[in-house]
Amino acid sequence: MQLSKPVLVYAAAKLNLTLDILGRRPDGYHLLDMVMQTVSVYDTLMLTPTEHPAVELLCDREGIPCGEGNTVQKAVRLFFEAAGIRNQGMQVRILKRIPDQAGMGGGSADAAAVLRAMNRVYQTGFQENELCELGLQVGADVPFCLRGGTLRAEGVGEIFTPVSPMPPCFFVVCKPDVSVSTAQAFARADREGDAFPRYTPNMIQALHTGSLAKIASCLGNSFEYALELPEILELQQSFLFMGALGACMTGSGSAVFGIFDSRMQAERCREQLRKKYSQVFVCEPSDAE
């Protein structure tokens, strides 16, 4: 089946409530134990059929590579191959709102949104687990972005266990000027060894209680110890000073988020941080797609 008209889809960002690095497999992939949460920050993607069998990717944010290595490029090509669709072309326009090199899964979210959309419009009937298998070939966070909600993610990030959902709250997320590539972050973690604290088991118990204060007290990320970036510590302290119940870096960085139980307090925090940082926003937990 050929696409007949452009399709508009949304790609939701994620935050890591916890991220535990457990070790490294012989193949170089790292074993993780995380609690991940979808949030209401979105990229917008427009998928348009083209006459030529090629994938054209356009992005409104400068500096985003749009060539063969882009996650969306990989996702489209893998989908066509898995579905046996030949001689089809696709143009994907991305309106970026998720910060890049922030640990919020922007590229993975875009790839997941494309896989879901193409499965729907081509009526190929792939089940969620089949899309996750395709997504894992694109990136370790893509399967979570396909599932969404509040989940424990183990293995390299592809083994999921449902956990109690995040209660209503407000996240203030700030991306400082410093950026860290995922490869760089893991390389630093490898040099530190595997002596990192464990956060995920306590977070799962906290989510079960439904207490936002307890959840906020159980936030934690192994990369904070591996990277030791002063900008991260400064932001965490700023969040706590402005009334956050807890603050933590997400993913491999460098975005930091604070948890608030009041929208008014979250908005005040955002306005204060905007005096120094350009990328600051308020968002909320969101459910699975």
Q: Percentage of the chain surpassing pLDDT 90?
A: 74
- In this structure, the answer to whether residues 151 and 14 fall within a common structural domain is yes
143: CATH: 3.30.230.10
Nearest of 241, 219, 240, 239 to residue 280 by alpha carbon: 239
In tens, the pLDDT along 137-157 reads 999 999 999 999 999 999 999
241: CATH: 3.30.70.890
* Higher local confidence (pLDDT), 189 or 237: 237
Q: Average pLDDT in the 87-110 region?
A: 93
Q: Identify whether 141 is part of a domain.
A: yes
- In this structure, the answer to whether residues 72 and 196 fall within a common structural domain is no
- In this structure, the answer to whether residues 198 and 90 fall within a common structural domain is no
In tens, the pLDDT along 223-237 reads 998 888 899 999 999
- In this structure, the answer to whether residues 48 and 136 fall within a common structural domain is yes
pLDDT score of 195:
72
pLDDT band at 93 (very low <50, low <70, confident <90, very high): very high
Q: Which of 126, 143, 162 is the last residue of a domain?
A: 162
Flag whether pLDDT at 174 surpasses 80: yes
Q: Identify whether 289 is part of a domain.
A: no
Q: Which of 128, 162, 196 is the last residue of a domain?
A: 162
d(CA 263, CA 265): 5
- In this structure, the answer to whether residues 275 and 181 fall within a common structural domain is yes
Flag whether pLDDT at 1 surpasses 60: no
Q: Which of 20, 33, 110, 141 is catalytic?
A: 141
Q: Which of 5, 14, 20, 276 is catalytic?
A: 14
Q: Average pLDDT in the 200-209 region?
A: 98
pLDDT score of 194:
62
Flag whether pLDDT at 289 surpasses 70: no
Domain around 113 = 7-162
Q: Average pLDDT in the 258-267 region?
A: 98
- In this structure, the answer to whether residues 186 and 155 fall within a common structural domain is no
- What is the count of structural domains for the chain? 2
- In this structure, the answer to whether residues 52 and 113 fall within a common structural domain is yes
- In this structure, the answer to whether residues 126 and 189 fall within a common structural domain is no
Q: Identify whether 248 is part of a domain.
A: yes
Q: Percentage of the chain surpassing pLDDT 70?
A: 97
Flag whether pLDDT at 86 surpasses 80: yes
- In this structure, the answer to whether residues 99 and 201 fall within a common structural domain is no
Nearest of 119, 135, 112, 106 to residue 42 by alpha carbon: 106
pLDDT band at 77 (very low <50, low <70, confident <90, very high): very high
Q: Average pLDDT in the 93-102 region?
A: 94
Contacts of 231 (CB under 8 A, 6+ apart): 176, 177, 178, 254
Q: Which of 97, 129, 162 is the last residue of a domain?
A: 162
Q: Identify whether 265 is part of a domain.
A: yes
Q: Identify whether 2 is part of a domain.
A: no
Q: Identify whether 155 is part of a domain.
A: yes
141 a catalytic residue:
yes
- In this structure, the answer to whether residues 153 and 175 fall within a common structural domain is no
d(CA 228, CA 237): 14
pLDDT score of 46:
96
- In this structure, the answer to whether residues 20 and 138 fall within a common structural domain is yes
Output the CA torsion sign for 177, 60, 37, 262.
positive
- In this structure, the answer to whether residues 22 and 78 fall within a common structural domain is yes
Q: Identify whether 41 is part of a domain.
A: yes
Flag whether pLDDT at 221 surpasses 80: yes
Task: Answer yes or no: are the C-beta atoms of 3 and 47 closer than 8 Å.
Answer: yes
